[in-house]
Amino acid sequence: MCEENINAAPKRVLSCIQPSGMLTLGNYLGALKNWVAMQEEFDCTFAVADLHAITVRQEPAALRSQIYSTYAILLALGIDPEKNTVFIQSHVPEHTALSWLLSCNTQFGEMSRMTQFKDKSAKHPENVNVGLFSYPVLMAADILLYKPDFVPVGADQKQHLEIARDIAIRFNNKYGDIFTVPEPYIPKAGARIMSLQDPAKKMSKSDDNQNSWVAILDSKDDIIRKFKRAVTDSDAVVRMADDKPGISNLITIYSAVTDKTVAEVEREFEGKGYGDFKLAVGEAVADTLAPIKQRYDEIIKDKKALETLYKEGAQKAEYVARKTYFKAMKKVGFVL
Ligand code: AQP
């Protein structure tokens, strides 16, 4: 390795998660497992994106408890709050402040093309609010404040990162060099986990059907029960195939939690029925999640320690966010 690389500062990565429900196995296998790995290689900023959660209706007491529990789960997974910046988005007011500057530099037309807005407004026709519409601008602010080199993205978030990049480039062209234009980071491994009740849809924590998702904090009994009820087909062969989305999803899950290849899984269950397979998936998932739940139970008991950590996290985040925000304000022409 050349000397230049040895001395180079680690690249910066930013990632957020919404406390819009109980974090699921999908969040874990698709994103959080990678967060834990990324902290070894990058300078990471991780946020609990609570402001985003209220784009759909949240019951106040439940929201508060979900924010605590999401933060505690990050710690229980092994994310180190000393090494990284781990904070709650609403504790850093520069997110909403910068989002106003960005909103005034974002066109109505480009926001109208966002597929997530179309999906979520179709799902909640009684609450098509302005926040839901402008959500990607707040997300652009979340990202651009911290000047990350990379933002990990799943397929569903690609469009939002693209708009954040477009906004950054436009702003820089107009006002000068303010924002770093982030690159997408495609993690080495990241499974897309589908609903256990409708394998055509992704597993989502806000799905009203509780049998469709497995929460990271579910008990072993609940996990096994949910897998037993998982929708499959009548073919009774454990094989990955496009016309077997339910079984394929279970194979993906089993392979992700056991680190076995799909071929190994298919071999292991050759000649066995779906009952045996579903039980094995449930048990393997429960075994993977049990130590996380155990650490979580310890962490959540000590609210004072948790408060100290998220406040320190907010201070670290704000130090960076303020600098970017005031630079942008100054360049736009505000009197500071
Ligand atoms: N089913 C999934 N499979 C793989 N990855 C997933 N992620 C979410 N669901 C799956 C990834 O988790 C990260 C954090 O997501 P988020 O909570 O900020 O928002 P989301 O993608 O909208 O997740 P949900 O669970 O579907 O939330 P709701 O129901 O509130 O909309 C992201 O990296 C996401 O890709």
From atom 14 of ligand 1, which residue's Cα is the shortest distance away?
17
Q: What's at 333, amino acid-wise? A: G
Phi, psi of 104 (to 5 degrees): -75, 0
Give the pLDDT score at 74: 98
Q: Is the CB of 156 under 6 A from ligand 1?
A: yes
* Residue 203 falls inside a structural domain: no
Q: What would you report as the CA-atom Rg of the chain, rounded to the nearest whole angstrom?
A: 21
Please state the length of the chain. 336
Residues of the chain short of pLDDT 50, as ranges, are 1-4
Residue whose tokens read 């990241």 = 190
What is the three-class DSSP state of 58? coil
Pairing of strands 183-185, 12-17: unpaired
pLDDT of residue 16: 96
Residue nearest to atom 7 of ligand 1 (CA): 27
Query: How open is the CA angle 38-184-13, to the nearest 5 degrees?
Result: 35
Residue 17 Cα to ligand 1 midpoint, Å, equals 8
- Whether residue 313 sits in one domain with residue 260: no
Q: Is residue 168 part of a domain?
A: yes
Residue 189's pLDDT is 63
Residues 230 and 308 in one domain: no
Token pair recorded at residue 98: 């910068």
Q: Are residues 102 and 244 in the same domain?
A: no
Structural domain count, the chain: 2
Residue 251's domain comprises 210-298
The answer on 143 and 54 residing in a single domain is yes
Are 176 and 65 contained in the same domain? yes
Do 181 and 104 reside in the same domain of the chain?
A: yes
Query: Of the listed 33, 205, 244, 316, which one is catalytic?
Result: 205
Closest residue CA from atom 11 of ligand 1: 27
> What CATH number is associated with residue 81?
3.40.50.620
My answer on whether 309 and 291 are in the same domain is no
120 part of the active site: yes
How many of the other CB atoms lie within 10 Å of CB of 8?
9
Q: Specify the pLDDT at position 154.
A: 73
Regarding whether 20 and 110 lie in a shared domain, the answer is yes
269, part of any domain: yes
Exposed, middle or buried, 259 (CB in 10 Å: 0-12/13-18/19+)?
exposed
What stretches of 39-176 show up as alpha helix (H) in DSSP? 50-53, 60-76, 94-103, 108-112, 115-123, 130-144, 158-175
CA 31 to ligand 1 centroid distance, Å? 8
- 317 and 277 assigned to the same domain: no
Q: Is the CB of 249 under 6 A from ligand 1?
A: no
Indicate if 323 belongs to the active site: no
CATH classification at residue 267 = 1.10.240.10
Predicted confidence at residue 3, as pLDDT, reads 46
- Is 283 in the same domain as 314? no
The reported pTM is 0.93
User: How many angstroms does the Cα of residue 74 sit away from the middle of ligand 1?
Assistant: 15
Q: Is residue 228 part of a domain?
A: yes
Indicate whether 120 and 93 sit together in one domain.
yes
Q: Is 210 in the pocket of ligand 1 (CB under 6 A)?
A: no
Predicted local confidence at residue 2, as pLDDT: 45
Same domain, 68 and 117: yes
Q: Is 330 a catalytic residue?
A: no
